[in-house]
Structure 1
């Protein structure tokens, strides 16, 4: 019988990355659908409520990015431990346990920040009435931060251990729970009180708690995951692992906060420009962020794939994993950019009634912002994946500096200049976003390309092949 031809290593890496990235990207998109449910229900309360919620979510999003950044260091650590195959069960458990510790400790601190939300909004020049409404909303919404951070750690754990489909299924469940919660609590259906805007925040908190419970049940019901005893002896500290996670995670948090802060800062700038511009910005940003979830998921998969090979000290495989992720991501963002350019009104209609005369001004502004979003799809996707592959080789400090320089010195400064001091107004703010993402993408890609020159690769290869690593996570 004739033997089948061997699969080219790069093609095999493409396939492995797609198998991991597919469920993660879908889970990310479903997570955006969870957030979109909130926007859809809140938008029906009026433009003032939508503007107030967008300001609160801008603050919560930055805090959540910081939380996910610090605890997200568990991904390259777990991947490298599996790649090394030395006491992987014990080492993976230690990493997951300390990530859960950080999720709770830093999450509580983030809740405290949210209770100063109204003061933050007033200090940035927001309308006092909108700031008051938003301040009450963010205090309720902050209760979701800790369970959301815990859920993110558990999601990373199951994904790195070869079960990313759990993330997809659980996030789909979260959509249903959040939709039901908003339906019942915002407008007082199903015998529940009509809480208005705060009802949406309560629904988000309930959804986050249900998500954590679902991950716990999934882990405990799966034999391959259960053997890690990730919830065992949760009170036992692993100080060296905690320090290692902070060393990797704090720069990741700085990177994500810098990027999230750029977009949240843009929301505050829009609040200065006008209420209509802020509402249009909120809708357009939801669409851009939804499309971004695919390259973001590919970047998450790249961190794990590159991390496996980094642990095995396979330099050639590290390169293949990184370039495979970048190739897949660029193929997708070209399609998403084309869709925004060709069908912008159709895409907008998923969020608002584009034919209603009352929405004419909002639609006109959102269409302008979507055009700019289509232009920066390429660099937005590229910077997300490049950051992901660099995390796989546990390089986080320099990318954090790149993020601050690109997003703030280049991007936000441009947004301020064009948005507040030129007739471009809201479009100028979005042009600044494009500038920041492009600068960051170019610098991150250059660092990955010259990874050997920067000393980011392991010193000597180990005799561990990619097929063995696949078997470990099967």
Structure 2
């Protein structure tokens, strides 16, 4: 397949995934904007609470993400039974994970106080998280089933399932946070209930689609039946993915914790900058998911040259997106930040002053962040997850996190120092992960015998 053909194939598969991730971020963006309009204290509280929730959520996503390369490989081999078995056990492991982490969400105030957060913010975060904790299971069910559909090439469905949740979430937030349409004004509780409702609604939509339009795998028949062999396979592939995701998300979560020690205003500025950076990251994540599916298909067919060409195309597209978003962040920082703040907010000017600098640093890590997540996607496609986990841990825990702490808090550089640590960690991860795929994985697979 030629490079232009690879570009078309990646875009056909990847653009709906990008759109789906953007729609998912639009849900988070809606939450942030509406809570920000409710007040800067509420914004700081939700920023802290969702940081803890998302940190746990991404670990559970490891099992959902494990389903994607497995289903892609089994589908390329024509093994429908293994497609069904892998997806079911991904759902099982998601449920087990939710039960395991429920206590951390339920008693989150104690955790946040240990991490030196302001008592009022920690108490509000626990109120929010006790409601949202119920939504963890439907959220992970949605992720697992989206991975299943994406691996089958049904990426447009993944897109539309997420898109229909956006207006639902906006309505729920507007009604429950501010007390519109006859609903009571619930503030933070309303924001949490809106998120819970949205996760549940999304799960019902995707389950309904699979029951009607993908009946051939009989995915939900005898769902309770155990499958120890496949459960072990999904777990073996999924736990390193979860810990890899944790390494990066913990770096960002720890940065929020460190920003929280600087006060409510820096934490609010951090929340806005992270939200904007996360929005653009979804573009790279969609390409990464497409790279996983295509690498998984090539892995099942043992077509190594196809895999390498597809990988180069995914990285090149990611780099192009990074250049564009860097230009936007550097050129329009204040208009972007003004979306999240009420014009009468007394902290608006100070949040702007801090946030503009943070957005400049967010622009710096666009290129390396995209390159590392695409490399991860390619490695997952060939079911290489344990060494990438180690490389990610070295990058984020060994370099990024210590640098953020030393520069931000020890040397007194504040938010600038904390975000500089983020940039360093992501840059090292990008180099190590790309080196593994291009200088270890591709040469080793290319040396394998060609398929008959």
TM range (shorter): over 0.9
Conservation of the 8 A alpha-carbon contact between 1:58 and 1:264? yes
Partners of 1:443 and 1:141 lie apart in 2 by 36
Partners of 1:75 and 1:145 lie apart in 2 by 20
Which of residues 104, 120, 138 is equivalent to 1:113?
A: 104
Q: Displacement, 1:116?
A: 2.1
Q: Which runs of 5+ in 1 are unaligned?
A: 1-7, 464-474
* TM-score (norm: length of structure 2): 0.97
Q: Which moved more, 1:107-116 or 1:121-130?
A: 107-116
Which of residues 349, 355, 363 is equivalent to 1:374?
A: 363
- Deviation sequence 1:149-189 (CA, Å, 0-9, x none): 00001111111112111111111111111111111111222
Alignment of 1:245-394 (within 5 A): 245-353=234-342, 358-394=347-383
Say if 2:224 is the partner of 1:218: no
Partners of 1:191 and 1:360 lie apart in 2 by 34
Partners of 1:436 and 1:337 lie apart in 2 by 18
- Deviation sequence 1:242-271 (CA, Å, 0-9, x none): 111111110000100000000011000001
Q: Which moved more, 1:380-389 or 1:450-459?
A: 450-459
* TM-score (norm: length of structure 1): 0.92
Which of residues 23, 26, 31 is equivalent to 1:33?
A: 26
Q: Displacement, 1:349?
A: 2.5
Q: Displacement, 1:406?
A: 0.4
Q: Displacement, 1:409?
A: 1.0
Q: Displacement, 1:452?
A: 4.1
Counterpart for residue 440 of structure 1: 429
Partners of 2:242 and 2:446 lie apart in 1 by 23
Partners of 2:355 and 2:100 lie apart in 1 by 35
Which of residues 11, 20, 28 is equivalent to 2:4?
A: 11
What count of residue pairs does the alignment treat as equivalent?
452
Say if 2:78 is the partner of 1:71: no
Say if 2:134 is the partner of 1:137: no
Q: Displacement, 1:455?
A: 4.2
Partners of 1:183 and 1:356 lie apart in 2 by 19
Conservation of the 8 A alpha-carbon contact between 2:40 and 2:345? no
Q: Displacement, 1:314?
A: 1.0
Counterpart for residue 55 of structure 1: 48
SS of the aligned residue for 1:44 comes to helix
Q: Displacement, 1:319?
A: 0.9
Change (3 A) 1:371 1:270: same
SS of the aligned residue for 2:178 comes to coil
Change (3 A) 1:144 1:457: farther
Which of residues 239, 242, 246 is equivalent to 2:231?
A: 242
Conservation of the 8 A alpha-carbon contact between 1:89 and 1:228? yes
Say if 2:172 is the partner of 1:203: no
Alignment of 1:75-154 (within 5 A): 75-85=68-78, 88-154=79-145
Pairwise CA RMSD? 1.6
Conservation of the 8 A alpha-carbon contact between 1:10 and 1:324? yes
Alignment of 1:418-437 (within 5 A): 418-437=407-426
Say if 2:173 is the partner of 1:187: no
Conservation of the 8 A alpha-carbon contact between 1:151 and 1:215? yes
Partners of 1:116 and 1:457 lie apart in 2 by 51
Conservation of the 8 A alpha-carbon contact between 2:33 and 2:339? no
Change (3 A) 1:24 1:68: same
SS of the aligned residue for 2:383 comes to coil
Which of residues 163, 167, 178 is equivalent to 2:154?
A: 163
Q: Displacement, 1:363?
A: 0.7
Say if 2:221 is the partner of 1:232: yes
Q: Displacement, 1:423?
A: 3.4
Greater percentage in helix: 2
Conservation of the 8 A alpha-carbon contact between 1:345 and 1:354? no
